[in-house]
């Protein structure tokens, strides 16, 4: 699995603008998307997670 660089336009967005875009994308995609959150991720990632947990449990 490779890594990807964050596209430049996203780097200039404020945190609240990014959160708004994430919420809008999740709403548009509905049940076709699930965001997984792991206990070690930052709170600003976890706030968008549909399911949270620990992959070792």
> Would you call 38 helix, strand, or coil by DSSP?
strand
List the domain range (segments joined by +) for residue 36: 8-53
- Is 2 contained in some domain? no
According to DSSP, residue 6 is labeled: P
In a domain, 27, yes or no: yes
Number of domains in the chain: 1
Residue with tokens 């875009």, as numbered in its chain: 21
Per-residue pLDDT tens for 20-35? 999 999 999 999 999 9
Instruction: Please tell me the pTM assigned to this model.
Output: 0.77
- The mean pLDDT of 8-19, rounded to a whole number, is 93
Q: What is the pLDDT of residue 56?
A: 74
- DSSP state, 30? G
**DSSP-based three-state secondary structure for 12:** coil
For residue 3, name the pLDDT band (cuts at 50, 70, 90).
confident
């Amino acid at each position: 699995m490779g890594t990807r660089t964050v596209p430049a336009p996203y780097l200039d967005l404020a945190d609240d603008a990014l959160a708004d875009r994430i919420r809008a994308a999740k709403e548009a995609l509905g049940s076709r998307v699930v965001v997984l959150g792991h206990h070690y991720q930052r709170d600003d990632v976890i706030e968008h997670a549909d399911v949270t947990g620990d992959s070792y449990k």
